[in-house]
Amino acid sequence: MKNTVLALLGIALTSLSTSCLTSPEVDPQIAICPPPVEILSQDTITTGSYRGMGINETAERVYTAIQALQQTEGLPYLNVVSNATSELTQLQGRLPLYQYILLDENQGTDAGVQLTLEAGVVTSIYLNSGQKLSQWPAKADASVRLGDRAEDLYGKLVKVRAQKQYASKFERIFLITKDLAKAYDPAMAQSPQWYFAFKTAADQMEEIRVYWEAGQLRSIVVSRLKLP
């Protein structure tokens, strides 16, 4: 996949392995073949806190701590696992809070649609096959186009879904990459895991995975990696 967000997603998904991986079945099946990385150390934290994130704190408070890391560590993204729905109506007002959105059928297809948003507008549209589009559907009056405002995305998707031939692409709607400049989304508390990574030196990176139970932070896994 050719957009920037997917490149960041690939780092986080594959940093603990030197081989090609496919993401878990609960999320889109994206195969990534990254350069090998070396694990320098790995810690699991179940008490206390780490980088402002406290064990047993709520998702909203931890999100605030992660937003602070964007300022202090240059954190580029936050990925939210299993943040999905089949009900488009649940996403009104939520779509502008995310940078990377995937629409697809339950089984996953090459025609699944990847939308990337930056600075409040749609900046790229790809199919899972890797085909780059300027609008989706490619030949329809009601479509999502490059440059569309995030606030207009919900209304446009409602019109696309109303077209029978595209309705199946709304069987699974994943809100994958959270825009850290935007407000907290309460639905994030339903996710079992969030993850993110940032460089700590020119050749080193820290990957952090936070695990949730009933909306409270239960553990933090920190992997310190040496980049090739």
Q: What is the pLDDT of residues 43-89, one digit of tens each?
A: 999 999 999 999 999 999 999 999 999 999 999 899 999 999 999 99
- Stated as kind and residue range, the H or E segment containing 210 is strand 204-213
Name, in order, each residue with C-beta under 8 angstroms of 62's C-beta and a sequence gap of 6 or more.
53, 54, 210, 217
Model's pTM, two decimal places?
A: 0.84
Per residue in 193-219, pLDDT tens? 999 999 999 999 999 999 999 999 999
How many whole angstroms separate alpha carbon 24 and alpha carbon 28? 8
- pLDDT surpassing 50 at residue 22: no
Please, which residues bridge with residue 32 across strands? 21
Tell me if 79 sits within 8 A of 196, measured CB to CB. yes
Structure tokens at 47: 């008490």
Identify the pLDDT of residue 57.
98
Beta strands in 58-203 (DSSP E): 78-80, 84-85, 98-104, 113-118, 121-127, 132-133, 135-136, 144-145, 172-178, 193-201
Q: Cα–Cα distance between 51 and 68 in angstroms, integer? A: 9
